[in-house]
């Protein structure tokens, strides 16, 4: 199957054309450098995203604490992660970088605070 | 049992309520919307007309001249700003001069004071941004401007203070005479605020007299009582507000020569400082169609640039459309012989904002003629304390206010400089919706359109009105601002 | 904060930082997405993390006094400024003044979208604040006007929060946002992007019901049902105070001792550049004080 996508590794934004079969890259054209190749392969084989969102707090000075995953997680599991996070409550103060949810969805990724709350 | 029931809380209903509250009567005002002044009275040009441009023997003309006099007096009592800015009806051709003379003569016959024709030199000096091709103008110095909704709120607050009961979210659905005893039964369906009561519940009010001043819906209300010779045709007017930075674009209200149906498209001063251009005049079928159009904008721009060439499209910061409730050429104010006790006040198109207090006097006469002999109250309160608005005060005055209440220092709306205290005051005086707060305080009415203040105002509403965030509306049921709140 | 810190490092010790919000950080607090700091800190931060690094530096510089919930309402040509805070009004005349008052959003009214004016029309930044700070979801079926980064990021944000983004409508022939945002905010969630189209009409009496979208070239139209319209059509520097002080061109104030930086000078895409230029403003103010 032929797939088209835009490389986002640099501002040139090359239009990649990828021939793919069963989640495996067979050929890739349109890139102007190696990064483009790696990007295209990653996007087809296992696209990953950093998730940023918020967690509700209880008894703290902000209603929501903004958070992000400390490493990218599979794109396909973003909504699943959101569902889990929307049920979470933070009840103790945290500083920027501290863990809010450990080992999110058993992916080996932590959800960390991006703002301090008291 | 009420002596008088007023249907409709626009300027007409509010002015009647305030006038009747001078007497020892039991009075109620029923309004279907969540707040007063959400009908025609919220979207108009805000001009207190001097009386020109009306046919000499019309009710419109007579009530306009009298209304102009009364409005300035009552506005003073109620602490509402009225500014006498004057108006100019401008001509560009010698050929139009006879028409101008005719308008002047007609105005004088109606009793419009101090009319005079001014020439090009005068115009250059007093209206420098006016098109230099303007040849002459009819100058009516008694034209004024007022904030239409603040005017309605002040009238209604004062009426309430003098005993009138105001029921919001009360829509009249039936009017039936009680057989034999000259009473009217008015059925009402309630669409009240969330939580306060179950919406859709029905109640009945009994009254000796019912006054139908339901604006665009006066024909439908009349039909409820079996009166079917009224048809209200909405005539839409689109208006465009300019940035306050252009406050001094014009010094007067600038009119072209009127057409047989309208006063034309104008350059208006408003009591809040923003100049306004419009309105268009277009018959529409739908009484709720308050949409604006690209065509309307182009028409208004073309027409007003002819008057003031330096007008720029980029200065427009807001727009709206209003619907004039037209029932033929003139106002219709009469007692319905078929339904004794029912008084119709319909077709209150322009200059209805001006005419309100004069219409109220006629309504009192009609009531007397048909059997109500009210006594004046000794305890009538004429005055209403002026509301405090930071934007209209010099900075040097602020420390006094801050001493009274520190929350005058908590600025909620940056563009119009409105404090948390003013928002709370507005709620205490009856605001229930975001629009109600905007109309009373100007918060959200500036150039950022609530980008900064909306969440701040919502939080105050949550606190003061004990609402859930999702229950806050822009202007009543169905216009909820947000759909979910994470808790 | 960058300007204050730069002036501080250049030797100015008596500095007051005035902020109308109850916390420092400005717009960054609501920009919870990544994409900040790649140049300045050589790492990809979210808005609040970027702000936090400066908040810590400001706190460490003890001579920088911070006044929160303080709203400047007046500025005169000789730099006399007045601010309100709960319970008090303060007037002072600093020897040098740096204005970093940010920007505001262009509204639906400024681009003259015809139609009705129901509830459900939000500037995208206001919607961002509602979702990210207040925890309020403005609507369930969204049409976004404008494909700049803010519009794109909000399309993703609403999708993650469980709303359905029907389309992003862009009047230009190309998206105005970063390719990365087009990919990760729209393509990831199969959100259609209509380029060279405009929203011609908004319908709905009490709440938004639908919009009419028009193709700029063919003038063909179609309708999208939705309950919410997000308007993301650009930002405008906020410098009414400088205008009030009598400067004809607020971007180049001709008042001695007055400096302007950040989004109130011109609208920036990248916070890193805001920081760089604001540091220059801080240094220039320090230089001015030495010579004055
Ligand atoms: C574009 C435009 C510009 C204008 N400019 C001017 C001007 O510059 N100067 C001027 O003097 N006039 C002007 N007018 C005219 C003026 O606005 C109106 O004449 C005036 O507002 C009419 O007030 P009202 O109280 O009769 O009607 P409304 O304000 O419509 O009040 C009627 C009320 O009745 C309520 N109602 C309806 N049905 C029911 C029911 N069944 N039960 C309970 N309540 C009901 C409605 O909700 C409404 O609030 C303008 C009008 C327009 C449209
Ligand atoms: C929605 C959005 C998304 C963005 N996304 C990115 C991104 O992904 N990556 C990136 O690099 N950049 C991004 N940017 C750009 C960048 O973050 C901003 O340009 C930058 O943060 C602006 O900083 P500033 O200090 O100029 O303005 P602001 O952060 O707006 O600060 C101005 C401050 O002045 C205060 N203030 C204003 N008037 C007064 C007054 N009268 N009295 C007292 N205080 C006052 C305000 O409260 C505010 O705190 C984004 C910008 C926006 C708006
Ligand atoms: S392929 Fe290489 S050059 Fe092209 S966009 Fe990607 S990183 Fe840039």
B281-330 pLDDT, tens digit per residue, is: 999 999 999 999 999 999 999 999 999 999 999 899 999 999 999 999 99
Q: Nearest 5°: CA angle at B31, between B343 and B358? A: 45
- DSSP string over B127-195: -TTS-TT--EEEEETT-EEE-HHHHHHHHHHHHHHTT-EEETTEEEEEEEEETTTTEEEEEEEE--STT
Q: Nearest 5°: CA angle at C74, between C77 and C20? A: 130
Reported as a pLDDT band with limits 50, 70 and 90, residue A49 is very high
| A13:C179 CB<8 A | yes
CA atoms of C26 and C4, how far apart (whole Å): 14
- Looking at the domain assignment, is residue B271 inside a domain? yes
Average pLDDT, chain B: 94
The token pair at C254 is: 């001709």
CA atoms of B109 and B112, how far apart (whole Å): 8
Residues B237 and B320 in one domain: yes
Relative to beta strand A64-69, strand A52-57 is: antiparallel
Is residue A112 within 8 A of residue A67, CB to CB? The reply is: yes
B173-199 pLDDT, tens digit per residue, is: 999 999 888 899 999 998 755 444 455
B14-63 pLDDT, tens digit per residue, is: 999 999 999 999 999 999 999 999 999 999 999 999 999 999 899 999 99
Average pLDDT over residues C234-259: 85
Least confident span in B124-133, B350-359, B448-457, C148-157: B448-457
CA atoms of B448 and B445, how far apart (whole Å): 8
Distance of CA C114 to the CA centre of its chain: 25
Kindly list the residues from chain B whose CB atom is less than 8 angstroms away from the CB atom of residue A64: 486
Candidates C21, C91, C109, C158, partner chain B, best to mutate (most B CBs within 10 A) = C109
Query: How close does chain C come to A26, measured CA to CA in Å?
Result: 22
Relative to beta strand C197-203, strand C210-215 is: antiparallel
Tell the burial category of C15 from Cβ atoms under 10 Å away from its Cβ (0-12, 13-18, 19+): buried
Nearest to C87 among B402, B469, B486 (CB): B402
CA atoms of B24 and B166, how far apart (whole Å): 17
Contacts of C among chains (3+ CB pairs under 8 A): A, B
How much is the pLDDT for B192? 58
The token pair at C275 is: 């920081």
Nearest to A68 among C34, C132, C135 (CB): C34
Residues B154 and B281 in one domain: no
A residues 54-113 lying closer than 8 A (beta carbon) to C: 54, 56, 62-64, 66, 68, 75, 78-79, 82, 96
Q: Which CATH class is domain C2-104+236-291?
A: alpha beta
How much is the pLDDT for C103? 95
| A114:C182 CB<8 A | no
Relative to beta strand B233-242, strand B316-326 is: antiparallel
Residues with CB under 6 A from ligand 2: C 18-21, 26-28, 31, 33, 35-36, 70-72, 100-102, 125, 128, 149-150, 262-263, 268, 270-272, 274
Write the DSSP symbol of residue B388.
Answer: P
For residue A94, the cross-strand partners are A117
How many beta carbons lie within 10 A of that of residue C193, not counting itself?
20
Ligand 1: residue whose CA is nearest its atom 15 = B350
Q: Domain residues for B332?
A: 2-41+149-232+328-369
B408-440 pLDDT, tens digit per residue, is: 999 999 888 999 999 999 999 999 999 999 999
Residues B295 and B252 in one domain: yes
CA atoms of B336 and B347, how far apart (whole Å): 15
Among residues of chain B, what percentage have pLDDT more than 90? Answer: 89
Query: In this structure, what CATH number is given to the domain that contains residue B272?
Result: 3.30.9.10
Sole residue written with tokens 């997680």: A73
pLDDT at C251 over 80: no
- DSSP string over C153-169: HHHHHHHHTT-EEEEEE
Query: In this structure, what CATH number is given to the domain that contains residue B355?
Result: 3.50.50.60
Query: How close does chain A come to C93, measured CA to CA in Å?
Result: 34
How much is the pLDDT for C166? 98
C15-74 pLDDT, tens digit per residue, is: 999 999 999 999 999 999 999 999 999 999 999 999 999 999 999 998 999 999 999 999
Is B145's C-beta closer than 6 angstroms to any atom of ligand 1? no
Residues B321 and B353 in one domain: no
pTM > 0.90? yes
pLDDT at A5 over 90: no
- CATH-assigned architecture of domain C107-233: 3-Layer(bba) Sandwich (3.50)
What's the total number of domains in chain B?
3
- Looking at the domain assignment, is residue B381 inside a domain? no
Q: Where does residue C105 fall: left (phi above 0), alpha (psi -120 to 50 degrees), or beta otherwise? A: beta
Report ipTM for this prediction: 0.95
Contacts of C47 (CB under 8 A, 6+ apart): C25, C27, C28, C29, C30, C31, C32, C33, C36, C271
How many beta carbons lie within 10 A of that of residue B385, not counting itself?
7
pLDDT at C151 over 50: yes
Q: Which of B415, B417, B425 is nearest to B460 (CA)?
A: B425
- What are residue C289's phi and psi, to 5 degrees? -65, -35
How much is the pLDDT for B199? 55
- What are residue B156's phi and psi, to 5 degrees? -70, -40
Write the DSSP symbol of residue C108.
Answer: T
Distance of CA B435 to the CA centre of its chain: 14
Contacts of B among chains (3+ CB pairs under 8 A): A, C
pLDDT at C144 over 80: yes
How much is the pLDDT for B180? 83
How much is the pLDDT for C84? 92
Candidates A81, A114, A118, partner chain C, best to mutate (most C CBs within 10 A) = A114
For residue C236, the cross-strand partners are C104
Residues B188 and B208 in one domain: yes
- DSSP string over C57-74: HHHHSTTEEEE-S-EEEE
Is residue B199 within 8 A of residue B170, CB to CB? The reply is: no
How much is the pLDDT for B195? 47
pLDDT at B71 over 70: yes
Residues B131 and B249 in one domain: yes
CA distances from B175 to B171, B178, B189, B332 (A): 12, 10, 12, 19
Q: Which of B163, B141, B157, B10 is nearest to B74 (CA)?
A: B157
Residues B321 and B334 in one domain: no
The 3-state DSSP class for residue C72 equals: strand
Residues B279 and B303 in one domain: yes
- Looking at the domain assignment, is residue B374 inside a domain? no
Is residue B283 within 8 A of residue B237, CB to CB? The reply is: no
Is residue C61 within 8 A of residue B382, CB to CB? The reply is: no
How much is the pLDDT for B200? 64
How much is the pLDDT for C290? 93
Is B370 among the residues known to form the active site?
no
- Looking at the domain assignment, is residue B380 inside a domain? no
The token pair at C25 is: 């950080």
The token pair at C94 is: 């600093």
The Cα diameter of chain A in Å comes to 54
Is residue B368 within 8 A of residue B4, CB to CB? The reply is: no
Residues B157 and B172 in one domain: yes
Question: Among all residues of chain B, which has the CA nearest to that of A63?
Answer: B487
CA atoms of C58 and C64, how far apart (whole Å): 7
Is residue B398 within 8 A of residue B411, CB to CB? The reply is: no
C70-119 pLDDT, tens digit per residue, is: 999 999 988 999 999 887 899 999 999 999 999 999 999 888 999 999 99
Residues B259 and B302 in one domain: yes
The token pair at B319 is: 């727009």
Write the DSSP symbol of residue B259.
Answer: P
CA distances from C282 to B237, B282, C99, C266 (A): 52, 57, 10, 17
- What are residue B189's phi and psi, to 5 degrees? -105, 135
> Which atom of ligand 2 is nearest the CA belonging to C26?
49
The token pair at C6 is: 């730069």
Is A13's C-beta closer than 6 angstroms to any atom of ligand 3? yes
Write the DSSP symbol of residue B257.
Answer: P
Q: What is the gyration radius of the CA atoms in chain C, in angstroms?
A: 21
| C52:A49 CB<8 A | no
Query: In this structure, what CATH number is given to the domain that contains residue B402?
Result: 1.10.10.1100
Residues B315 and B463 in one domain: no
Q: Which of B49, B170, B252, B389 is catalytic?
A: B49
How much is the pLDDT for B197? 47
Average pLDDT over residues B1-23: 98
- Pinpoint the residues of chain C covered by CATH 3.50.50.60: 2-104+236-291, 107-233
- Looking at the domain assignment, is residue B467 inside a domain? yes
Report the sign of the C-alpha dihedral through residues B367, B368, B374, B380, in that order.
positive
Reported as a pLDDT band with limits 50, 70 and 90, residue A4 is confident
How much is the pLDDT for C247? 80
């Amino acid at each position: 199957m032929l797939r088209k996508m835009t490389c986002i590794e640099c501002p040139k934004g090359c239009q990649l054309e990828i021939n793919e079969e069963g989640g495996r890259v067979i050929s890739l054209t349109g890139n102007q450098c190696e990064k483009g190749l790696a990007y295209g392969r990653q996007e087809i084989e296992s696209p990953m995203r950093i998730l940023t969102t918020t967690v509700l707090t209880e008894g703290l000075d902000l209603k929501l604490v903004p958070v992000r995953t400390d490493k990218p997680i599979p794109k396909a599991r973003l909504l699943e992660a959101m569902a889990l996070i929307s049920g979470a409550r933070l009840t103790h103060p945290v500083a920027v970088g501290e863990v809010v949810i450990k080992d999110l969805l058993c992916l080996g990724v932590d959800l960390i605070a991006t703002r301090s709350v008291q | 049992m009420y002596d008088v029931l007023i249907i409709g809380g626009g300027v007409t209903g509010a002015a009647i309520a305030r006038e009747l509250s001078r007497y020892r009567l039991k009075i109620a005002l029923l309004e279907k919307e969540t707040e007063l002044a959400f009908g025609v009275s919220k979207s108009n040009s805000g001009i207190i007309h001097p009386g020109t441009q009306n046919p000499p023997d019309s009710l419109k003309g007579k009530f306009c001249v009298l209304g102009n006099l009364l409005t300035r007096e009552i506005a003073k009592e109620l602490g509402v700003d009225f500014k006498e800015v004057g108006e100019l009806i401008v001509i560009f051709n010698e050929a139009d001069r006879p028409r101008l003379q005719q308008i002047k003569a007609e105005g004088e016959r109606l009793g419009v004071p101090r009319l005079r024709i001014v020439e090009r030199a005068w115009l250059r000096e007093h209206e420098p941004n006016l098109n230099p091709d303007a040849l002459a103008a009819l100058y009516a110095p008694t034209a004024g401007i007022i904030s239409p909704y603040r005017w309605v709120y002040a009238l209604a607050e004062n009426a309430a203070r003098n005993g009138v009961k105001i029921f919001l979210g009360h829509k009249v659905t039936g009017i039936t005479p009680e057989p034999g005893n000259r009473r009217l039964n008015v059925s009402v369906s309630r669409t009240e605020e969330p939580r306060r009561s179950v919406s859709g519940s029905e109640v009945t009010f009994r009254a000796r007299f019912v006054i139908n001043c339901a604006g665009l819906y006066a024909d439908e209300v009349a039909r409820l009582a079996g009166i079917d010779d009224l048809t209200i045709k909405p005539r839409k007017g689109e208006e465009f507000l300019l940035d306050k930075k252009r406050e001094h674009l014009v010094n007067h209200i600038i009119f072209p020569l009127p057409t047989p149906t309208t006063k034309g498209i104008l350059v208006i001063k408003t009591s809040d400082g923003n100049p306004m251009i419009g309105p268009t005049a277009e018959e529409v079928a739908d009484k709720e169609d308050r949409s604006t159009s690209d065509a309307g904008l182009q028409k208004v721009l073309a027409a007003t640039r002819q008057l003031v060439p330096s007008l720029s499209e980029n200065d427009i910061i807001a727009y709206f459309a209003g619907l004039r409730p037209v029932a033929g050429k003139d106002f219709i104010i009469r007692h319905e012989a078929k339904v004794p006790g029912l008084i119709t006040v319909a077709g209150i198109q322009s200059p209805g904002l001006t005419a309100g207090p004069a219409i109220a006097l006629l309504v009192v006469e009609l009531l007397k003629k048909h059997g109500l002999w009210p006594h004046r109250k000794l305890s009538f309160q004429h005055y209403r304390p002026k509301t405090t608005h930071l934007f209209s005060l010099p900075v040097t005055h602020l420390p006094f206010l801050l001493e009274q209440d520190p929350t005058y220092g908590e600025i909620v709306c940056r563009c119009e400089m409105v404090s948390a205290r003013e928002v709370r005051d507005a709620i205490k005086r009856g605001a229930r919706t975001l629009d109600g707060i905007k109309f009373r305080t100007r918060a959200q009415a500036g150039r950022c359109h609530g980008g900064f203040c909306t969440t701040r105002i919502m939080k105050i509403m949550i606190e003061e009105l004990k609402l859930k965030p999702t229950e806050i509306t822009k202007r009543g049921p169905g216009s909820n601002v947000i759909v979910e709140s994470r808790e | 904060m960058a300007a204050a810190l730069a002036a501080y490092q250049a030797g100015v010790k008596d500095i007051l930082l005035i902020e109308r919000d109850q916390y420092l950080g400005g717009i960054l607090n609501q920009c919870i997405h990544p994409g900040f700091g790649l140049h300045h800190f050589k790492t990809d931060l979210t808005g609040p993390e970027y702000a936090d690094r400066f908040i810590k530096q400001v706190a460490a510089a003890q001579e920088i006094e911070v006044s929160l919930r303080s709203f400047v309402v007046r500025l005169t040509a000789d730099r006399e400024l007045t601010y309100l805070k709960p319970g008090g009004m303060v007037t002072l005349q600093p020897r040098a003044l740096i204005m970093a008052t940010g920007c505001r959003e262009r509204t639906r009214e400024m681009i003259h979208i015809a139609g009705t004016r129901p509830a459900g029309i939000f500037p995208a930044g206001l919607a961002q604040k509602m979702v990210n700070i207040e925890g309020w979801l403005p609507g369930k079926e969204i049409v976004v006007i404008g494909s700049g980064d803010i519009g794109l990021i909000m399309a993703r944000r609403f999708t993650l929060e469980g709303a359905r983004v029907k389309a992003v409508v862009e009047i230009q022939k190309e998206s105005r946002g970063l390719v990365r945002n087009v990919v990760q905010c729209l393509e990831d969630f199969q959100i259609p992007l209509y380029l060279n189209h405009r929203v011609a009409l908004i319908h709905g009496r009490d709440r938004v019901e639908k919009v009419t979208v028009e193709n700029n070239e063919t003038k063909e139209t179609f309708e999208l049902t939705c309950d919410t319209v997000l308007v993301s059509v650009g930002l405008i520097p906020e410098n009414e105070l400088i205008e009030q002080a009598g400067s004809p061109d607020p971007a180049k104030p001709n008042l001695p001792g007055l400096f302007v930086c950040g989004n109130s000078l011109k609208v920036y895409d990248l916070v890193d550049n805001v920081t760089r230029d604001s540091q220059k403003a801080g240094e220039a103010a320090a230089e001015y004080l030495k010579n004055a």
